[in-house]
């Protein structure tokens, strides 16, 4: 497996949070062989993430779907697949998903990194999910990466950009892939116990070893959920205040420009 022992820090035009470039160019060929021309249909804002990158880094066959994440306002990615002669859109049931909050907290959009989902299938029954991120970061790249940074397992925190470069966006993702170890992502906030247990069992059957304490994982998710809720409330409040300020400014400007008596 051709992977650098030490991933080098990279600088991008856009200021990003934690991101390390990996020497894993071979993944492009693996994904292309398995998913036809899917990578050629990527848009500038899109990233490959999830199981395909994880399994490729772990030296395992690609058995799952291909997940592509992008910003909500990106129409290019969806249009590329919709107009492709190799891919047909199918109903993902539903297109927009609300996952359960941690420990039975109910459905929540606050911590759900997936704002929308469109599914495509080719003649070989391969599936590609076009995922619209629900992130609110001012940086478009960070908004698109929100689902990748919010994965349940650390080993799933690697991505590929439109140029075929592979990066680690969750610390120690590469290490866990090489060791085929499952550890809970401390940034995850939307895992429920039933779903988490099912995911662990599924990957254990494929040779992964779980080091996850379910109780501790759900405690972490609850704490992240509460933090995300506070941040979302603060964001909405700031937006509301901003709109009010804009309205006052406009009204003030209108009053000052009005003719005197």
For 120-141, how does the pLDDT look when each residue is reduced to its tens digit (9 = 90+)? 999 999 999 999 998 888 899 9
State the average pLDDT for the chain: 82
Domains in the chain (CATH in brackets) are: 8-254 (3.30.460.10)
pLDDT at 6: 38
Q: Mind listing the pLDDT tens digit for each residue in 139-166?
A: 999 999 999 999 999 999 999 999 999 9
pLDDT digits (tens, 9 = 90+) for 28-50: 999 999 999 999 999 999 999 99
Give the Cα separation of 66 and 52 in Å (integer). Answer: 6
Q: What is the pLDDT of residues 174-203, one digit of tens each?
A: 999 999 999 999 988 876 788 899 999 999
């Amino acid at each position: 497996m051709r992977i650098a022992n030490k991933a080098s820090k990279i600088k991008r035009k856009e200021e990003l949070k934690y991101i390390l470039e990996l020497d894993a160019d071979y993944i492009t060929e693996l994904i292309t062989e398995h998913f036809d021309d899917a990578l050629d249909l990527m848009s500038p804002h899109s990233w490959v993430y999830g199981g395909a990158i994880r399994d490729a880094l772990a030296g395992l066959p690609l058995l799952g779907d291909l997940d592509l994440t992008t910003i909500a306002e990106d129409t290019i990615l969806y249009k590329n697949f919709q107009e492709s002669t190799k891919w047909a859109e199918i109903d993902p049931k539903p297109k927009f998903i609300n996952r359960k909050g941690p420990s039975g907290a109910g459905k929540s959009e606050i911590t759900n990194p997936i704002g929308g989902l469109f599914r495509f299938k080719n003649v070989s029954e391969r599936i590609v999910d076009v995922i619209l991120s629900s992130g609110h970061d001012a940086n478009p790249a960070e908004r698109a990466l929100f689902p990748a940074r919010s994965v349940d397992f650390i080993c799933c925190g690697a991505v590929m950009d439109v140029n075929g470069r592979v990066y680690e966006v969750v610390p120690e993702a590469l290490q866990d892939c090489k060791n085929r170890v499952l550890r809970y992502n401390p940034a995850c906030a939307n895992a429920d116990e039933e779903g988490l247990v099912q995911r662990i069992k599924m990957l254990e059957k494929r040779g992964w070893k779980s080091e996850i304490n379910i109780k501790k994982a759900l405690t972490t998710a609850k704490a992240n959920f509460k933090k995300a809720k506070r941040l979302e409330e603060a964001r909405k409040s700031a937006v509301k205040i901003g709109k009010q300020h804009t309205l006052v400014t406009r009204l003030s400007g209108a009053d000052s420009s009005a003719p005197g008596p």
